[in-house]
Structure 1
């Protein structure tokens, strides 16, 4: 449903301007290192090179101290870990379940809103994720993906849908969380879904009509059915067993880049399904166990989707080391020779510099502590794995980085001005154990995400910390580093003004000197900042915008990883957490409303609960509920903190919501298959956690 706006004079010709100039969104405007003026931010990462860099320099190291709030806009409950777009003076963004809004970029006045009603259509797929990280803009259309797998083009003038297409079968345990990417007259989209049995692929659609132009599968199917192309035939030789019975994984849920000079699309793929390689290709030796194209960077022809080359970051991956972190294209000089490169800092802890024309590895070095491998062989490009890292002989092996990665999906930035990449890095050790003996192929394609780690058990051991790391792709060494107290830190923006912006979970947006890491400016947003800032111009003035608040499941594990300190230090109650668009300009004089206080616990410390039933509920909650409601029921993401909810005091009402789906239209999935004892066990566990919270707040 769209709320329509009457265009103001300054953007009344947006449709015509878009067709005349912004059709370049797949051409010169998005070329790696292209010379545009930076007034717009029309794509996730701004250009096809996905550098998350703006050439604007009105705000610079000398005057950034004068940066102030120009305007703010409050948003409803829901995922806000998103990056907005800015085109011709209008800010576009999607929050919650892909609710898209258009806002006057200079004033914050909302122009229109479009709700695709994804909650009512997603069904069981509401269990896997919650919302998108970004949207696309092309040919006068705003394009978004949804939780139920639709790709929707919306008229940028009116907020009305132009076309909609279903991108995967409705019974897939999948969802779209990544931003669509435009190249030429096509838009590319994949999906997330390695929480369940899927066979990954990406699809290119026509921007004007939504018609499918091409599709590339990322893992081979059943050999008995034949192969779609030579690439799949080649990939099948690296698998063993009967992997096709449970899909294989390798979903393209985030990373994409585009080089118009060679008309090449680059995609990064996720981990295999299930995690443990022994289950995907039992006892495979050598190349037979590589499992292409799991955890790989793949170059495709933009016109046809045909395979060009690949580089597998982790052959035979078994630790959830996705290669789906953002890939950025750059032109740099190495050993006195200009090189066209692709750079990536994926989960596995190594920073890669790859020739983007040939796929040849140029260099790879660890940017965080790495213990699963001793290094990357420069001749073969393969990791030199540490002995015992594959956890095949029983027991548990502790490794760094963790499955959360040395760098997760929060975008890094690359500045062609400084020649440095700026990485939101993580440091955390995780233990892996072999659970393959008890694993079985799921009979229900829409099983819970917990099945992903069956066959590869995991637990944390060390404190999870983070840092903003300035890294040289030329020397493969750090230039400066700013430590953060937790791993929950936002995406990065670099600008032509010699600045680097990043938000952190403690509620501060900070501007650093790009060359030294010196703090030059800081703003207290009063809310966690995990989204990625952008810079753009409106009415000839430079602005920086960012969206506050949390969402997506990286934060969901914080309560378990960081313990009570997480809740006491950051007080991230989803119900009172401010979700806002914040926009800054030089000389801005705006102020924020006073922050809301976290709600007190609902249940008293002496509320009775059944300990045996609560134990059943603990396992059920961990398997099905933590993604939205937080590990150990410590609310931190988009779902309410259930320890504070009066719903848990009413057995019948609780069952209506959990089992009967009374709130499904609002984003709470239905668990109709749960037995009554399991539902009641969940309630008893939440009563226990509520009582523990009450005692903690009382100082007991």
Structure 2
């Protein structure tokens, strides 16, 4: 049986290698992408974004010898969600607010560091940098205040810099730029924070000169359309969508295809999320939540496939798009493998954009299936919260989020970090005829202010066969958020987990073969590379970014507060370095209080709405889940003057706490009352029973809607 399985795997490897030869030759034209896999120069390693390494020095037989080669503490940055890149013995990564580090990949010695000095309002976006890229002797990264810059890879000197957004708009950059054919392409985020019309821009890699820009959604028809694609898209919108921006940001996924000389964009959600407000007369709202193919030289539209027409749940398609050649009906087919938020796994013909297959990879209640004849989802009645409110799977976090998946041509499997977590949607009191987007109502939905319990979500690592559209194996992972993955020719899948362990699994079975305690959880994806014939694996660890905002769901891992490290860990066979000690995880919150402080319920209610700008870092319902301190345990809110100095005047900006100069004395006082109210909150049995009743009520309501009874 073992010999037969090995022979079959060898046959798949030979077939896959033959089928992708043309693509490999085009990719390897870039000297940084040698066929020996020594370098990891971009977010997905190669143009195909497979996150597959041909290195096999570390394999199933030798994995037991894997040990820490070196580590580097990052005490001056707060977010380390980034994908590292490695070229010719140098490791590069963007930590915190896109602070670029160059490190000797063998010793961990810091070679140089460049701080783009992000300041002001954009510091409030706590996602941090997810990645960067190396190309032709330079490293490229974006910043949260919308800049794209190039540095000399040897010295860290600034080569050029350009503002890709508009000054003081709601756009920001957290994703990794991509490089191809002498160009750098970048998108942006921001559709969840106000008026934003999404676009991508291509720049000259040597000079930073803009070459072309492509908008994702149409603007005001009275201003004319930039191209025929925008005129076509406008026919799928109704009302005055341009007043709200429309959304469609390309904040993460961009894939270059050298075989067709195309760029594929994974486009974002609508702005506002609520379709009834954004486009009150209906319509698919192109090119939201789509895979869009553009000519790489000109930026002209080629084709599109929309995963979620008329989206209304934040089901963006900004998740990675992997290029592969797989056997469909016995013949090789060039495809895109795509697992967006909405819970389906799509196989798309990348020459034509035609859907080949689509199946659910997790719990999905908004749609029954994807109709392969039309390519459209068969939606379940009630999913668009047309009955006032709805509990939907997945929620806005998706079944698969930005944490990248990997594809192995050896096993033929795609390895996906997945989660199951519901979303609550309610547009009560919002009439399309009168609704206006305001800072307190950007999404067009009723706000959700309650803590998220640790039982609200689960996660897993899923091995999915894109040919059969079935799971090969699935293993649970801790909590509801875990890191991206890579897979190697050594038959290993590497992933960092929320519980602080770095895991290597058997790519065939999912069995855990090796683990290492990093001293803190992570969501960062790892990289592997080789220097002088020795294979290394690197991952950044530190609990910050998106996991911080999920309240008790995030806090369950015990990494709350600045006491926990942010660090780089690099492993190799027979490594014997010692990791510096760090505090053990703790789920205990030592709340502080002043008995003389009398909470005014009206002020606390007002403070609940002011607090919306604090949620990303300090957690929903003032339950911190990551690097930022838990305000219920902080003495600062007990002092009006200290609170104002930090929150409004920016006394701790150098530690990552942005200033909020627009807050009035009344706003600050309301915040203090809300924090005190939350610090004293203890859920009663009646409150817990009421929450359970509301949950069950929503489930029954959704089931009745599916049956057509309401």
Same fold (TM over 0.5): yes
Matched residue, 1:633: 622
Q: Kindly state the Cα deviation for residue 604 of structure 1 after the two structures are TM-superposed.
A: 4.9
- Does residue 586 (structure 1) correspond to residue 577 (structure 2)? The answer is no
Deviations 1:460-511 (A, max 9, x none): 7972000000000000000001012411111111111000011111111110
Moved more, 513-522 or 668-677: 668-677
- Does residue 392 (structure 1) correspond to residue 386 (structure 2)? The answer is yes
* Distance (Å, rounded) in 2 between the aligned partners of 1:579 and 1:58: 28
* Distance (Å, rounded) in 2 between the aligned partners of 1:191 and 1:481: 33
> Which residue, 201, 206, 209 being the options, matches 2:207?
209
Matched residue, 1:105: 105
Q: Kindly state the Cα deviation for residue 342 of structure 1 after the two structures are TM-superposed.
A: 0.3
Matched residue, 1:312: 306
Moved more, 614-623 or 488-497: 614-623
- Does residue 500 (structure 1) correspond to residue 493 (structure 2)? The answer is yes
2:667 match: secondary structure: helix
Verify the 8 A CA contact 1:270 1:322 in the aligned structure 2.
yes
Matched residue, 2:701: none
Q: Kindly state the Cα deviation for residue 665 of structure 1 after the two structures are TM-superposed.
A: 5.3
Verify the 8 A CA contact 1:434 1:457 in the aligned structure 2.
no
- Could you tell me the TM-score, scaled by structure 2's length? 0.88
2:288 match: secondary structure: coil
- Does residue 90 (structure 1) correspond to residue 90 (structure 2)? The answer is yes
Deviations 1:16-43 (A, max 9, x none): xxxxxxxx99952389xx9711100000
Please give the residue correspondences for 1:224-303 in structure 2 after superposition, counting only pairs within 5 Å. Answer: 224-284=222-282, 289-303=283-297
1:628 match: secondary structure: helix
Instruction: Identify if the C-alpha distance between structure 1 residues 457 and 318 changes in structure 2 by more than 3 Å, giving closer, same or farther.
Output: farther
* Distance (Å, rounded) in 2 between the aligned partners of 1:417 and 1:542: 19
Unaligned runs of 5+ in 1: 1-23, 694-700
Matched residue, 2:47: 48
Please give the residue correspondences for 1:441-520 in structure 2 after superposition, counting only pairs within 5 Å. Answer: 441-442=436-437, 447=439, 451-452=442-443, 454=445, 463-520=456-513
Verify the 8 A CA contact 2:333 2:349 in the aligned structure 1.
yes
Moved more, 627-636 or 265-274: 627-636
> Which residue, 543, 546, 556 being the options, matches 2:548?
556
Matched residue, 2:395: 402
Please give the residue correspondences for 1:52-71 in structure 2 after superposition, counting only pairs within 5 Å. Answer: 52-71=51-70
* Distance (Å, rounded) in 2 between the aligned partners of 1:283 and 1:26: 49
1:595 match: secondary structure: coil
Q: Kindly state the Cα deviation for residue 541 of structure 1 after the two structures are TM-superposed.
A: 0.6
- Could you tell me the TM-score, scaled by structure 1's length? 0.89
Q: Kindly state the Cα deviation for residue 657 of structure 1 after the two structures are TM-superposed.
A: 2.1
> Which residue, 330, 339, 350 being the options, matches 1:345?
339
Please give the residue correspondences for 1:354-365 in structure 2 after superposition, counting only pairs within 5 Å. Answer: 354-365=348-359
Q: Kindly state the Cα deviation for residue 621 of structure 1 after the two structures are TM-superposed.
A: 5.3
* Distance (Å, rounded) in 1 between the aligned partners of 2:40 and 2:24: 10
Q: What number of residue pairs does the alignment pair up? A: 651
Q: Kindly state the Cα deviation for residue 686 of structure 1 after the two structures are TM-superposed.
A: 2.7
* Distance (Å, rounded) in 1 between the aligned partners of 2:671 and 2:593: 18
Deviations 1:315-345 (A, max 9, x none): 0000110100111111111110100000111
Q: Kindly state the Cα deviation for residue 591 of structure 1 after the two structures are TM-superposed.
A: 1.6
Matched residue, 2:651: 662
Verify the 8 A CA contact 1:128 1:173 in the aligned structure 2.
no
Instruction: Identify if the C-alpha distance between structure 1 residues 485 and 614 changes in structure 2 by more than 3 Å, giving closer, same or farther.
Output: farther
RMSD: 2.4
1:615 match: secondary structure: helix
* Distance (Å, rounded) in 1 between the aligned partners of 2:65 and 2:183: 41
- Does residue 596 (structure 1) correspond to residue 583 (structure 2)? The answer is yes
Verify the 8 A CA contact 1:616 1:682 in the aligned structure 2.
no
Matched residue, 2:175: 178
Deviations 1:106-157 (A, max 9, x none): 01000001001102xxx32333344210011112111110010000111111
Moved more, 538-547 or 428-437: 428-437
Instruction: Identify if the C-alpha distance between structure 1 residues 242 and 416 changes in structure 2 by more than 3 Å, giving closer, same or farther.
Output: same
1:530 match: secondary structure: coil
Instruction: Identify if the C-alpha distance between structure 1 residues 581 and 613 changes in structure 2 by more than 3 Å, giving closer, same or farther.
Output: farther
* Distance (Å, rounded) in 2 between the aligned partners of 1:37 and 1:435: 57
Verify the 8 A CA contact 2:66 2:575 in the aligned structure 1.
yes
* Distance (Å, rounded) in 1 between the aligned partners of 2:596 and 2:560: 22
